[in-house]
Amino acid sequence: MAVIKYIDAEQNVTSVPIEAGETIMSLAVNNLVEGINGECGGVQACATCHCFIDAKFTDLFSEIDDMEEAMLDMLEERKPTSRLSCQLELTDETPDIEVQLPASQC
């Protein structure tokens, strides 16, 4: 079974088995991964699930839409690989991936 490795700003790693149909955010919240809050429950009304996805994994997920772009634009720590993890849906085909977490969530 594939896993997601959530890596915080201090390089602590939490590995969670992937569950198809979940998002990277919901999987983190359901497994008490520190560093992803998901305060709005995944409706793109906040950016408390901000993460960094390695460019080699971007093709696995949908493109950034206008709402996600607006939320990401508010972040001080935004990088080219920034995404809202609530928008990153997992499937049975999702391989092992690593998700970097910012030092803090807004």
Global confidence as pTM? 0.92
* 3-100, CATH topology level: Ubiquitin-like (UB roll) (3.10.20)
The span from the CA of 97 to the CA of 56, in Å, is: 10
Average pLDDT over residues 54-75: 94
pLDDT tens figures, 39-64: 888 888 889 999 999 999 999 999 99
Helix (H) or strand (E) holding 53: strand 50-53
Q: Give the start-to-end residue ranges of the domains of the chain.
A: 3-100
Helix (H) or strand (E) holding 68: helix 66-73
CA 33 to chain centre: 11
State the burial class of residue 19 (Cβ atoms within 10 Å of its Cβ: 0-12, 13-18, 19+). Answer: middle
Token pair recorded at residue 28: 């983190």
pLDDT tens figures, 76-95: 889 999 999 999 999 999 99
The span from the CA of 41 to the CA of 44, in Å, is: 8
pLDDT tens figures, 6-43: 999 999 999 999 999 999 999 999 999 999 999 888 88
